[in-house]
Structure 1
């Protein structure tokens, strides 16, 4: 078996590199674009296999994700050596993936412990109001927290509607993405900017007009589309959810735990300490450890204090979180060479992308930064993509907040807004899709969803470009 692996790795060498003799360090400028094949493979698997082989995908998506990871790691280890491969593996897990999943799981658990009691009736006005409330909450408790809190009552309110997939699609547009653009708590890219020195309220001051334009227009479009479907098709002759005498929340102690999540996330940003330890070259700092430990404690406390009835009423299950965890593990690991090639700048395989965001006079082009950061965030993880373009624009938070404020606003807006372009652009997108499908909503497939985003979001992004970033 070992001999077979070595032979396969050796056979891959000519395809992965123009020459076999390469420097030992991991230099993205010397990589072939073919190193991006495993990453492209997992993206295509997520896009196509649910359509072409739904039964196989449902039972084996974790194995498919692991297979693409091995398709990257085995040749990488053969070429660069096991120590460097192990260091990259550990860095991606410890520095990025594990904190990411811990935060998502904490928000998923706590929001899943809050049950909205009662049966709302999903008329266009009510649906629009829920989306508007979700947009506000997304910047206060994160797009994941707001999505997990509101998606279940929204689906339940519309469970007697004939057409309802569009309700979930617009929910992803507004609550799972655009609404999280005003604070570092809203979306991971903005939190990374906060850690790099961007003021907490800078985004609220500088991309509020763009956010209001996008969210306001989407709400108006949604109301018109939902009103059309409501008038044309009406509702089913029976309502699967019976009316109840009282409307309110169960599991309200979890609201306090949401506050605890916000506290620990903020703490890790404002607490500066060099204390920690190294894991294969990756520094694990005390503030990050305290944050992750606090989030795990909150998650366990939520599971402890939330009654079984609340979880049952919420139809709470771990399936959506497990799906996100397995797929994003593959994404975070196979993205390693892609990010390295982007970080190589104009001298790397993706130098054309970096050159495209710079004007002839050497000044940054905000419009191009908006589209470059946005389009890559549609398919790559938007947090490292934000960092790449943050550094491409100079990496100096003080200068970016003042002299180049329009450029930083463009990077921030692109990374957050365009995460809605695909199901994999932002973690809550897949979670919302999985929850909706588990409750019988026939969601569009990967390309079907993109038909919605290209038809509705892309024209709005073009308008935002000409209004705000020219």
Structure 2
């Protein structure tokens, strides 16, 4: 038990340190003064994630944190030199307290609580069972978050298919459906929608405006998956002679007390959105609101309590480790650092270096173009983090939640759908994508490379997005 607490303390210490530079994009500085060359470190980290696991896998596996830190410093050092260490320091404090730590604390809480629930038994990974698990995950994702649903269901899904020869497609579709598309109906589902909720978008607005799109996308993916899985399942010698985990229909939950903690996580997130108060305090120019402070401290308490009440046997059965969470924290720290100038240049609007992108979402008559909002927010969400991308286009569309929910509802729906749905296009589009990949690979299963995964999304997701554009976002 002590070793487990020690590892957890070490992880939080890393999170606190790595969190400092993670989301500088939230601080304000004039992106019009930047050149596109400031985006090179971001391109470098993307290429490193894509190519190094293929070219130098051993180096990447052991030193990806150092590589990520090097790219982060490639931006931070020149930034401090050009804009001054004072501004850099203010932004680092702002980032630590206002962006990255809340991000990593919420993910850690969901990861820990979900990892403390073990689903006993092992169903046969037939096409029907696999499709049912994906469908259940899609529903759960909007109520317990894509991270929570992914962490709860990925392990039993792996066990259910451990006697199959062809199963990579199972995990790819799991990322498509459970880790992304399923989280599109409430602010609890995905960070972009939660940010919109904090900006004044009503809690149930999203479910009322992109439910048809969600049903279409999830339904189409489930149908495609079932057909593909049925094809593989009925091939000769698809199933191994001996199932590593014998089938049983006697299902149950160990560590079920964590479900109450999961409800506490949901409650804390909702509290921070509904609780409106000016109370708080300021640290180095950064305002720390009381609701956010209560939420984050509460999430840390939930994480600690989960570790205390979860029997060690449950973690052993789940093969629980901090490695997937550490990988996400390290990689996204570097991504959030190097994304700073990219987001700043986008926020500069039509007068900035990326003005063509911003101008593309507006029609000649000045009205918003929903199709372009859908594809612009979606494309950038595929490679940038989808939460700040959502905010960029939310503000580009005017930033007034009441107007966006009214006369510009189609544009807001397009931004919401693009940010959530297209986060599935790459591994780095949404944090649960990398977490699922890490867990699957830790069990000895194969996952596509960075570009291999993009080939899957390009062949399956992109055509569906084109159809959605013509139906809902013209």
Give the TM-score normalised by the residue count of structure 1: 0.94
The residue aligned with 2:213 is 210
Q: CA deviation at 1:200?
A: 0.3
Measured against aligned partners, the alpha-carbon deviations of 1:182-201 in whole angstroms (never above 9, x if no partner) come to: 00000000000001110000
Q: 1:262 to 1:247 in 2, by over 3 A?
A: same
Q: Distance in 2 between matches of 1:369 and 1:381?
A: 16
Find the counterpart in structure 1 of residue 284 from structure 2: 280
Correspondence for 2:389 among 380, 385, 393: 385
* Partner SS for 1:424: helix
- 1:109 corresponding residue in structure 2: 112
Q: Distance in 2 between matches of 1:95 and 1:421?
A: 27
In the TM superposition, what are the counterparts of 1:295-444 in structure 2 within 5 Å? Answer: 295-444=299-448
- 1 CA distance for matches of 2:340 and 2:426? 20
CA distance in 1, matches of 2:282, 2:386: 26
CA distance in 2, matches of 1:90, 1:241: 49
**Offset, 1:335:** 1.1
2:155 corresponding residue in structure 1:
152
In structure 1, the partner of 2:123 is 120
Deviations 1:353-399, CA, capped at 9 Å, x for gaps: 00000000000000000000000000001111000100100111111
2:123/2:248 contact within 8 Å kept? no
User: Could you say what secondary structure the match of 1:247 adopts?
Assistant: strand
Question: Equivalent residue for 1:17?
Answer: none
- Given that 1:26 and 1:80 are in contact with CA atoms closer than 8 Å, whether structure 2 keeps it comes out as no
Where 1:118 maps in the other structure, the secondary structure is strand
C-alpha separation between the residues in 2 aligned to 1:225 and 1:246? 28
Deviation at 1:274, TM superposition (A): 1.6
In the TM superposition, residue 72 of structure 1 has moved relative to its aligned partner by 0.5
**Residues 1:135 and 2:134 are matched in the alignment:** no
Q: CA deviation at 1:245?
A: 7.3
Separation (CA, whole Å) in 2 of partners of 1:72 and 1:296? 31
Matches within 5 A, 1:65-80: 65-80=68-83
Pick from 218, 225, 233: which aligns with 1:222?
Answer: 225
What's the CA shift for 1:283?
Answer: 1.2
Q: Which residue of the partner structure matches residue 191 of structure 1?
A: 194
Could you tell me how far 1:242 is from its partner in structure 2? 2.7
- Compute the TM-score of the two structures, normalised by the length of structure 2: 0.93
Deviations 1:319-366 (A, max 9, x none): 000000000111111111111111000000000000000000000000
> Residue 244 of structure 2: SS of its match in structure 1?
coil
Secondary structure at 2:282 match in 1? strand
Q: CA deviation at 1:88?
A: 2.0
Structure 1's unaligned 5+ residue stretches are 1-24
Q: Deviations 1:289-342 (Å, cap 9, x if unpaired)?
A: 100000000000000000010000001011000000000111111111111111
SS at match of 2:432: helix
Check the 8 A contact 2:123/2:249 in 1, yes or no. no
Cα distance between partner residues in 1 of 2:192 and 2:112: 22
Structure 2 gap ranges (5+): 1-27
Moved more, 210-219 or 25-34: 25-34
Choose which of 460, 463, 468 in structure 1 pairs with 2:464.
460
User: Which residue matches 1:40?
Assistant: 43
Instruction: Give the superposed CA RMSD.
Output: 1.0
Instruction: Verify the 8 A CA contact 1:321 1:431 in the aligned structure 2.
Output: yes
Q: How many residues align?
A: 446
Q: Is the 8 A contact 1:29 1:347 kept in 2?
A: yes
Aligned to 1:165: 168
Asked whether 1:262 is paired with 2:266, we answer yes
After superposition, the C-alpha distances for 1:89-146 in whole angstroms (9 at most, x for unaligned) are 2222321111000000000000000000001110000000000000000000000000
Q: 2:295 aligned to 291, 296, 304, which one?
A: 291
